[in-house]
Amino acid sequence: MAQVLVTGGTGFIGSWCIQALLDARHTVRTTVRDLRREPELRSWLHEATPFDDDRLTVVRADLEQPEGWDAAAAGCDFVLHVASPTLRHTPANDDELVVPAREGVLRVLRAARDSGVRRVVLTSAFGAIGIGHPPRSTPFTEQDWTNIDSDIPPYQRSKTLAERAAWQFVKDEGGGLELAAVHPVGVLGPLLGLDDPPSLRLVRRMLEGKVPACPPFGMGFVDVRDVADLHLRAMTNPAAVGERFLATAGHSLRVIDIARILRDRIGERASKAPSRELPVWLARTLSIVNPELRLLRHQLGRDLDVTSAKAEQLLGWRARPIEDTIQDTAESLLAHGIGTKADS
């Protein structure tokens, strides 16, 4: 069994990665920005899986600060770099996200190299692959990169530039450090704790009746538990070295299909889910004044399809049916008292 560092342990993907590592009998060290969250994280994990507390260590490190990273990586065999900077406000310019993401990746990689870590698995995103391209009929693959020369949102730009910096660092300064990257599409699935992950807000808002009509686009979705499984496979499989892996449960799914699956699977409890899709022309018009639609402007009227054939063939990875994931997402939100607020 190995000693594994997971950055961003209280995050949605990070916490599920820790749970999967503990289940696999690894010893885990994880970083948080605020150590006051340690009891909360341990509580989530103990509810999810039995483990001895001495197999989990929680340390403080912030991607925007140099302190703590060497100590966090010391003695580790592998690093799952899941953490990514987030903002609570709309950035005034792209650099508010790009610079912390890129510098944070480099801090983690330097610490990993200097500590003799064998391999880093970087959590990237579909946003580093399929944004800023003209419409196409073929699925996106790991060979594609987001076009940073186009007018794309800051988050997707930050993920793209951070990943490019990671590959360049390993090539130029890695000193034998191995790197693999995981690229989830829209991540759904059950909660471990009481956080409100951004990727679940669409389902939450549908349950609350706050999505009067669905935006007209489709994309891939995947279960957070399968994303964690792919991280572990990329961590240990020799075939993963130097590779990127898309994670999706299947072909592109329209947002209106998510609403339909919610009503089919959980019945009356999803009665507020929308039953119609906005016309493309209307969605584009509304995006001028609606901030949420404005962030989706590159996707409106499109189906952004991807394939996970590479992860399936090289790593033996398989995703569960997305219908099951959507049901589990809704059941978890409702069980945590999330998604039950009245229309407002």
Q: What tokens appear for 165 in the block?
A: 């910096």
CATH architecture type of domain 3-193+220-251+305-321: 3-Layer(aba) Sandwich (3.40)
Q: What tokens appear for 101 in the block?
A: 């993401």
Cβ neighbours, 10 Å, residue 208? 19
| pLDDT at site 92 | 57
Residue 298, SS3 per DSSP: coil
Residue 87, SS3 per DSSP: coil
Mean pLDDT, all residues of the chain: 93
Q: Is 310 known to be catalytic?
A: no
State pLDDT tens for residues 303-344: 999 999 999 999 999 999 999 999 999 999 999 888 766 544
State pLDDT tens for residues 159-176: 999 999 999 999 999 999
Residue with tokens 């989530």: 44
User: CB-hemisphere CA count at 13 Å for 89?
Assistant: 4
State pLDDT tens for residues 76-103: 999 999 998 765 555 556 788 889 899 9
Task: List C-alpha distances in Å: 30 to 46, 79, 196, 268.
Answer: 15, 10, 20, 40
Cβ neighbours, 10 Å, residue 104? 25
| pLDDT at site 190 | 97
| pLDDT at site 87 | 54
Within 8 A by CB and 6+ apart from 240, the residues are 119, 121, 180, 233, 234, 314, 315
State pLDDT tens for residues 198-230: 899 999 999 999 999 999 999 999 999 999 999
Amino acid letter, residue 12: F
Contact 242, 219 (CB under 8 A): no
Q: Is 39 exposed, middle or buried (0-12, 13-18, 19+ CB in 10 A)?
A: exposed
- Confidence band (pLDDT; 50, 70, 90) for 194? confident
Q: Is 19 exposed, middle or buried (0-12, 13-18, 19+ CB in 10 A)?
A: buried
| pLDDT at site 298 | 79
**Does the global pTM surpass 0.75?**
yes
Give the C-alpha separation, 4 to 107, whole Å: 17
Give the C-alpha separation, 102 to 283, whole Å: 33
Within 8 A by CB and 6+ apart from 131, the residues are 146, 147, 150, 152, 153, 156, 160, 298
Residue 29: is its pLDDT beyond 80? Answer: yes
| pLDDT at site 343 | 44
| pLDDT at site 313 | 98
Q: What is the mean pLDDT of residues 15-20?
A: 98
Give the C-alpha separation, 329 to 325, whole Å: 6
Percent of residues, the chain, with pLDDT higher than 70: 96
Q: What tokens appear for 136 in the block?
A: 């196409």
Domain locations in the chain as residue ranges? 3-193+220-251+305-321
User: CB-hemisphere CA count at 13 Å for 31?
Assistant: 27
Give the C-alpha separation, 66 to 62, whole Å: 8
Q: What is the mean pLDDT of residues 38-54?
A: 95
Contact 1, 25 (CB under 8 A): yes
| pLDDT at site 344 | 41
Contact 188, 248 (CB under 8 A): no
| pLDDT at site 196 | 79
Q: What is the mean pLDDT of residues 46-57?
A: 96
Give the C-alpha separation, 159 to 239, whole Å: 24
Q: What is the mean pLDDT of residues 226-236?
A: 98
Gyration radius from the chain CA atoms: 20
| pLDDT at site 294 | 84
Contact 276, 108 (CB under 8 A): no
Give the C-alpha separation, 1 to 203, whole Å: 37
Amino acid letter, residue 161: L
Q: What tokens appear for 99 in the block?
A: 């610079």
Identify which has the larger pLDDT, 213 or 299: 213
Residue 272: is its pLDDT beyond 50? Answer: yes
Q: What is the mean pLDDT of residues 280-294?
A: 90
Contact 212, 283 (CB under 8 A): no
Percent of residues, the chain, with pLDDT higher than 90: 84
Contact 182, 126 (CB under 8 A): no
| Given 159, 171, 272, 341, the catalytic residue | 159
